[in-house]
Amino acid sequence: MSFPSSSHLHDVVIAGAGPVGLFLACELALAKLDVLVLERADRPEAPLKAPPLGTRGLSVATAEALYRRGLLDPLVAAASTPRKAQAGHFAGIAIDPAKIDPTRWKYRLPNPASANFAADMSSVESVLAARAVPLGVAIRRGHTVTGLDDHGDAVTVHAGGHAFHAKWLVGCDGGRSAVRQLAGFEFPGTEPEFTAYSALVEMADPGKLPPGRHATPAGFYMNEPGRIAIADFDGGAFDRSQAITPEHLQAVLRRVSGTDVTLSAVHLATSFTDRARLATTYRQGRVLLAGDAAHIHSALGGQGLNAGLGDAMNLGWKLAATVHGNAPAGLLDTYHAERHPVGEWLLDWTRAQAAVMRPDAHGRALEGIVRALVDTPDGATWFAEQLWGLSLRYDLGGSHPLVGHSAPDFELPDGSRLASHLSTGAGVLVDCDASSPLRHAIAPWHDRIRHVTCGASNALGLAALLVRPDGFVAWASDKAAVASEVEAAALRWFGRPSHAISSDRRR
């Protein structure tokens, strides 16, 4: 290592105390790693994190991840937005909840996380920080990451005039990620078609701007009391490093709406574009990326935070096992293998919405077709699956249709639910056959896999399933399960049992 051996070596340094960095910090600290988070901002509070502009739609997949770590209730309590299930929309085309057919989701059981919800960024971050700090995470605010050296077996990170050393560095520092740039990750993608604005405003002559959402020849605008949203198909021409002046916002609103409305006050404004880029790899040496640092795209349909939190849930246990030295070969590489396709899907999901919203004859034609599809039970159910994160299936091999999906939240005979057994970050073997030999088969992994029995009443026809720490099914069987199959799945995802590792070390 080419840094002073007397220096403290953290297990992981995370750049960025946004929601993704903080959630990852919680995951790593749950596994008892030494974690340092370096954050550019001096203070966690910022006007754009508070409602309404800081409000984010969170999917069922995100609700499940938080629920499995005991974070859903604290977040719902902290968020000032009342919890209200919404079916969602695609390019502004609302999904009718009455047309969604949940009977098609054979392996989903009703549970406290089965609805999407909204929460503001301040609440998300404060709940995650409140969990991370007692777990031992150190958060240093006012520390902008400005440099890094990957030594091959450790990384030195330069921030706030200091050098910090870690076995691993994860860039969770947002769309303009310094870590991504400093480490030289490739970040290809597509250029924007529009600039979108969201602002809290007052109008001198509110009667001039019709309320509601309106498509126009220049884009679209939405007018709600005290708030406007605009998409200006300007090719993403607005220089987003500049402040959004009231004059600029008014000019854009007038052009897009075709009115001469006057803004008498602009209290808060933000902008984004549909520029879409994705890191070609999520890991380079000792440096990893998660969240917006790995993928940028428009905020249409609200998916970025959901994807980022999914990255963190997927990476946390894999990186922890790698640091602890008990990860099976290649486990860390499955982070890229599983999450990069999610990033690709996400970029295409937002690109497709931009195409549907294009203010020309092609866009209108496409919109009409999508609207008709969304209006069918098949369409509404399919769009809901995508929007809520239910369609996510990792390609983990295996023939059972449940493998790679989020595990059903079984209610167990003692009244507990599966989610509560995942709260420590361990894996779980759910055994639906009380006489099966599986308890003994996984005993050597007792420090990493818990065994629970599932009452036959809600077993969904399953005999047993092995659930990874992130709540995804690694292996499942409908028939009386064979111990060797479970052992093979445990070896693949949890590595060799501790006694085998320690006897190797003694040799």
Ligand X SMILES: Cc1cc2nc3c(=O)[nH]c(=O)nc-3n(C[C@H](O)[C@H](O)[C@H](O)COP(=O)(O)OP(=O)(O)OC[C@H]3O[C@@H](n4cnc5c(N)ncnc54)[C@H](O)[C@@H]3O)c2cc1C
Contacts to ligand X by CB under 6 A: 15-21, 38-41, 56-57, 144-145, 172-174, 178, 198, 270, 272, 291-292, 299, 302-306, 308
Amino acid identity for residue 383 in this structure? F
C-beta of 294 vs 321, nearer to ligand X: 294
- In the complex with ligand X, the residue whose CB is nearer, 90 or 272, is 272
State which residue, 114 or 198, has the beta carbon closest to ligand X: 198
**387: nearest Cα among 345, 354, 356:** 345
Answer for the pair 148, 173: CB distance below 8 angstroms, yes or no: no
- Helix segments in 375-417, DSSP class H: 377-388
Nearer to ligand X, 269 or 465 (CB): 269
Cross-strand bridge partners of residue 37: 14, 139
> Least distance in Å: CB of 495 to ligand X?
29
Name the token pair of 141: 């605010």
Helix 361-374 vs helix 333-357: angle between axes, to the nearest 10 degrees? 110
Say which DSSP state 370 is in.
Answer: H
Report how far residue 296's alpha carbon sits from residue 256's, in angstroms, rounded to the nearest whole number: 25
Q: In the structure encoding, which two tokens stand for residue 242, read together?
A: 């500049």
Picking from 95, 189, 22, the residue whose alpha carbon sits closest to that of residue 383 is: 95
Q: Closer CB to ligand X, residue 159 or residue 426?
A: 159
Residue among 15 and 449 whose Cβ is closer to ligand X: 15
Query: How near is the Cβ of 122 to ligand X at its closest, in Å?
Result: 11
Judged by beta carbon, residue 56 or residue 165, the one nearer ligand X is 56
- Structure tokens given for 238: 């607005």
Select 41 or 412, whichever has its Cβ closest to ligand X: 41
CB of 290 to ligand X, least distance (A): 7
Beta carbon of residue 468, minimum distance to ligand X (angstroms, whole number) = 22
Sign of the C-alpha dihedral computed for residues 408, 411, 412 and 415 taken in this order: positive
CA distances from 7 to 113, 165, 166, 325 (A): 43, 7, 10, 22
Min CB(193)–ligand X separation in Å: 17
Q: Residue 59 Cβ, how far from ligand X at the closest point, in Å?
A: 7
CB of 14 to ligand X, least distance (A): 9
Q: In this chain, which residue has its C-beta nearest to ligand X?
A: 18
Instruction: Let me know the angle formed at the C-alpha of 41 by 38 and 43, rounded to the nearest 5 degrees.
Output: 110
Q: Are 445 and 490 in contact (CB under 8 A)?
A: yes
Q: Distance (Å, rounded) from C-alpha 178 to C-alpha 170?
A: 11
- Shortest Å distance, C-beta 246 to ligand X: 19
* H-only helix segments in 191-293: 246-257
